[in-house]
Amino acid sequence: MPIEPLVLDVRPVIGAGGHPMEAIMATVGRLVPGQAFRLIAPFRPEPLFRMLEQKGFDAHPFDQPNGDCEVLFTPREAAPVEEDAGIPSPLAWPDPERHFDLTELDQTSATDRALAALDGMGEGAVLFALFAREPDYLYSALTRRNHRWVGNFDGSGETYRMLIRRG
C-alpha cells in the first residue's frame, strides 16, 4: 500500500511575510523512506526544485489557474519504472526529423507548437524540442495521442530537452 504524501501549505507563511524554508526542511525531515510530499505555494518555487533534487527528490509542479503552484516532490528511489516491451528503447529511436527551440514561448504556446509539429509527422518519427521549463501541460496530450517521450534538464538545469516519438 503506497504511503500518502505529507502536505505542506506555505501560502499563509509567505502571506504573513515569513520565509517557509524551515517548515519545508522540517517536512522533508519527517518523511519516511519512499514517502513523497506535496507543497502548496503562491508561486512556482523553481530554486527549491534544484535544492531538493540534490537531496534525491524529483519535482512535479502543477500550476493552478489562480497563480498558486502545487508541487509533488517524489523520492527518486520510489519512482515507478514503466516498461513497454512493444516500444523500443529511446536509444533505438530514429534520429529526430525536426528540432524546435521553444524556450521563448509560454507553456501553452510551446505545447501547441509541439503538438502541431507532431501532427504533421509520420508514425514513429521523432521530434526534439527545447523548453524553458518542464512542459507539464504537454504530458497528458502526448499520452492521449499514444506518443512516447523522454526528457530531462540540460546540465545547467535551465532548459528542458525532450525527444518525442509519434505514436
Query: Fold match between 6-78 and 90-165?
Result: yes
Grid cell of 22 as nine digits: 524551515
Higher pLDDT, residue 155 or 130: 130
Phi and psi of 149, rounded to 5°?
Answer: -155, 160
Cα-atom radius of gyration of the chain, to the nearest Å? 18
Residues 78-90, mean pLDDT to the nearest whole number: 48
Amino acid symbol at 5? P
Second-level CATH architecture of 6-78: 2-Layer Sandwich (3.30)
Distance CA 83, CA 10 (A): 36
Distance CA 76, CA 93 (A): 25
Q: Is 2's pLDDT higher than 70? A: no
Identify the pLDDT of residue 126.
92
User: Would the pTM of this model clear 0.85, i.e. be above it?
Assistant: no
Identify the pLDDT of residue 30.
85
Residues 72-99, mean pLDDT to the nearest whole number: 68
What class is the 90-165 domain? alpha beta
Provide the terminal-to-terminal Cα distance of the chain, rounded to the nearest Å.
Answer: 33
Distance CA 164, CA 142 (A): 9
pLDDT one-digit tens code per residue, 26-80 = 888 888 878 889 999 999 998 888 888 888 889 999 888 898 999 999 987 643 4
Domain parsing of the chain, residue ranges: 6-78, 90-165
Distance CA 105, CA 111 (A): 9
Identify the pLDDT of residue 141.
85
Distance CA 51, CA 56 (A): 9
Identify the pLDDT of residue 41.
94
pLDDT one-digit tens code per residue, 131-164 = 988 887 788 788 888 888 888 877 777 888 888 9
